[in-house]
Amino acid sequence: MFTVISKSAVGAGIAATALLGLASIPAAASSHREAPYITRQPKVDATDFYMFRSYETGRGDYVTLIANYIPLQDAYGGPNYFSMDPDALYEIHVDNNGDAKEDLTFQFRFKNENKDTKLNVGGKQVSIPLIINGASDINEPNAAGLNQRETYSVTVVRGDRRSGTRAAVTNAAGGASTFDKPVDNIGNKSISDYASYAAKHRYNINIPGCGTAARMFVGQRKDPFVVNLGETFDLINIKAPATAFDPNAERAASDSLAHKNVTSIALEVPISCLASGSETVVGGWTTASLRQGRLLNPTPNSNAASKEGGAWTQVSRLGMPLVNEVVIGLKDKDQFNHSKPGGDTQFIDYVTNPTLPALVEVLFGSAGVKAPTNFPRNDLVTAFLTGVPGLNKPANGTPSEMLRLNTGIAVASAQHRLGVIGGDTAGFPNGRRPGDDVVDIALRVVMGKLCRLNLGCAPADAPAGDIEFTDGAYIDSSFVDAAFPYLKNPLPGSVKH
C-alpha cells in the first residue's frame, strides 16, 4: 500500500540537487510489456537496464552494464523455455561525449542449434520433443544432455552503430568469438547444481581497444526488479496515503515479480574503455531491433518458420527506468521504442506537463492529495533530458533521455536503497544498481518533494509534497549478489525431492 514514511529532509549540496533526477519517473514495472507492439514480441522486450561502477571487491575501476530481456518468465516455462531471438539484434549503447549519439555499441547476435536427438522406438529413430535428452546431468557448456545448443557472438562498434568500425569480442582463453549461453534453469533433476553450471558461462573477454580484463555473462537470472505491479495498474488500487508513520509500510505489499525470471546480458568493462578524455559522465541505453520484412513459411517442416530480411528497425529501447511505462502517452509508446535519444524533444510535453500526478490527484483527491501546480516542469526537463548539474550532467550535452553515470564518483562503502536521496551519490539517479529502489524513490518525489525543498519550485506549488510514499514492495542490495553478474541464479522449474 502507499503510506507516509517520516524521514528527514534531504540535505544541501549534491544529494539535494540530484533529487531533480527523480521526478520524471513514476512507479510501475520498469519496462515490462510497456508498449502495444512489444507485447507481441516478448523476446525483444527490454525489461530493465543497469549501469554502475562495479562494487565487487577489487573491481572498482570497472563499470557493469546489465540489459535484461524477455519479461515475466515462469520458471516452469517448458518445453521450449526462453531462448533469445536468433533473428534479432540486441545492443547496449554508450555515449561518452554528451552528443546523444552512441560512441560505443556492443551488438549481440544469437544462434540456436537443434541437435535432433532421436530414440529408437519400435525399430524407428524418432526425434524427441524436449530441449534436454536425459543422457547426462547438465553440468558444463554444450553438455551431452542438451538437445539444443544456444550460442552468441558479440561485436563492438565504435562510432555510429550502423557505419562505425567493427571488431569481434573474443574469449580471453583461446580467442574464440562464439560463446555458449546456459540453458534456462529447467529444474534440479536436469541440472543438479545450476549455480556451478551457470558460472562456467562467465567469460573473461577481450574487447578490442579495451584489453582482456573485461567480463561477460549472458543467461537466465532471477528478475531483480521489485514492484507491487497488479495494484499499481488497477488504478492504484491501494489504501489512500496516510499521515501517520508506519514502520512496516515499506514491506506491506507483495512483489509481483517475486516468482519470475528474466534473461540478462551482462558486461563488465574498464572505465577507461567507456569514458572519453576528461569527461567522467557516460550515458547508456539498450535496444533491440528486428528486420523490416518477414515472410511466414507455410510449410516450415525442419526449416525456418519464417524468413527475415530488409533493414534493421528498432522495436525496443530502455534507458532510465519507468519512462515508457507510465510517462509516455499510450499513443506514443511504440514511437518511443523506435526513437533515438537525439530526437527526444518530441516527447517534451510528457515531461513539462506530466499526467501521473494529475491521475494520482483524481484517485486520491478526496484524501487531500493534490498534484504540484508549477508548469512547465523545467526541473524535470533538467533531469530527464540533460542530466543533473553537479551529479551526472556532462560538460557539453545534447538534450536526450538515457541512464547517466558519473564514473568519477566512487563506489559506496554501504549502499542505500534510496540512492542519492538516501545520501548515497553512487546510486540512482547516478546510474542504477540492481538494489536501488527506483519505485520508492520516484513515489517520494513525483508529487512535489522538490518543491517543499525549494528546488526548482516553491513549497506552495506542492500541497502534497511532504507525503513520502512507498508501494510497499521492498528491495535493497541484499536482494542481489555482491559479485558479477550480481543478479541471483534463476528460480528452478522444479525442485528435486
H or E stretch covering 48: strand 46-53
All 3 cell numbers of residue 29?
A: 514495472
The winner for highest mean pLDDT among 53-67, 233-247, 300-314 is: 53-67
Q: What confidence score (pLDDT) does residue 27 get?
A: 38
Mean pLDDT of 109-136: 94
| Burial classification of residue 305, based on how many CB atoms lie within 10 Å of its CB (0-12 exposed, 13-18 middle, 19 or more buried) | exposed
Instruction: Specify the higher pLDDT residue, 78 or 382.
Output: 78
Separation of alpha carbons 210 and 267, rounded Å:
13
In single-letter form, the type of residue at position 123 comes to G
Q: What confidence score (pLDDT) does residue 22 get?
A: 34
Question: Residue 131 contacts by C-beta under 8 Å, 6 or more apart in sequence?
Answer: 78, 79, 80, 81, 146, 147, 148, 183
Separation of alpha carbons 381 and 443, rounded Å:
18
Separation of alpha carbons 396 and 385, rounded Å:
13
Q: What confidence score (pLDDT) does residue 242 get?
A: 57
Concatenating the DSSP letter of every residue in 324-359 gives HHHTS-GGGHHHHHH--GGGGGGGTHHHHS-SHHHH
Q: What confidence score (pLDDT) does residue 365 get?
A: 82
CA atoms within 13 A on the CB side of 133: 18
| pLDDT tens, residue by residue, 247-284 | 677 777 778 888 999 999 999 999 999 999 999 999 99
| Residue 290: strand, helix, or coil | strand
Mean pLDDT of 140-168: 95
Residue 243 pLDDT grade (very low, low, confident, very high; cuts 50, 70, 90)? low
Q: What confidence score (pLDDT) does residue 246 get?
A: 66
Residue 1 pLDDT grade (very low, low, confident, very high; cuts 50, 70, 90)? very low
pLDDT at 238 over 70: no
pLDDT at 445 over 90: no
Residue 119 pLDDT grade (very low, low, confident, very high; cuts 50, 70, 90)? very high
The winner for highest mean pLDDT among 384-388, 404-408, 450-454 is: 404-408
Mean pLDDT of 462-482: 86
All 3 cell numbers of residue 379?
A: 526541473
Chain centre distance of CA 457: 31
| Burial classification of residue 466, based on how many CB atoms lie within 10 Å of its CB (0-12 exposed, 13-18 middle, 19 or more buried) | middle
Contact yes or no for 52/268 (Cβ under 8 A): no
Contact yes or no for 177/164 (Cβ under 8 A): no
Q: Extract the runs of DSSP E, i.e. beta strands, from 297-422.
A: 306-318, 403-406
| pLDDT tens, residue by residue, 277-323 | 999 999 999 999 999 999 998 888 766 889 999 999 999 999 989 88
Residue 421 pLDDT grade (very low, low, confident, very high; cuts 50, 70, 90)? confident
The mean pLDDT value of the chain amounts to 87
pLDDT at 364 over 90: no
The winner for highest mean pLDDT among 175-184, 449-458, 462-471 is: 175-184
Q: What confidence score (pLDDT) does residue 281 get?
A: 97
Least confident stretch, 110-124, 133-147, 239-253: 239-253
The C-alpha angle with vertex 150 and arms to 79 and 274, in degrees rounded to 5, equals 130
Q: What share of the chain is helix, strand, coil (3-state, %, to 5)?
A: 20, 25, 55
Separation of alpha carbons 312 and 161, rounded Å:
11
Compute the radius of gyration of the chain from its Cα atoms.
Answer: 23
> Residues 223-233, buried b or exposed e (16+ Cβ, 10 A)?
bbbbbbbebbe
